[in-house]
Amino acid sequence: MQEGIHPRYHLVVFRDEGANFELLTRSTLGSDKKIKWKDGNEYPLVYLDISSASHPFFTGTQKLVDAAGRIEKFNKRYRRG
């Protein structure tokens, strides 16, 4: 590995305020904000707009789209012949 060309890979806390969810993981992202984690150490804090705790796909609140109806509508509109 060449020195000086790779970003720093370190522990970071990601927080989803809407879902009251925090995750400690490794990342190249940094932040000026810090948070004291459960292990007593201080880590950079990055805020998320959405996470697995609040995303509709993972929470089971995702709405299903009527794909069959859309396909029929498309075929009807662009039918050749």
Model pTM score: 0.65
Q: Where are the domains of the chain?
A: 10-77
Do the Cβ atoms of 8 and 14 come closer than 8 Å? no
Q: What is the pLDDT of residues 14-73, one digit of tens each?
A: 998 888 889 999 999 989 999 999 999 999 999 988 877 776 666 666 666 666 777 788
Over residues 42-52, the pLDDT tens digits come to: 999 999 888 77
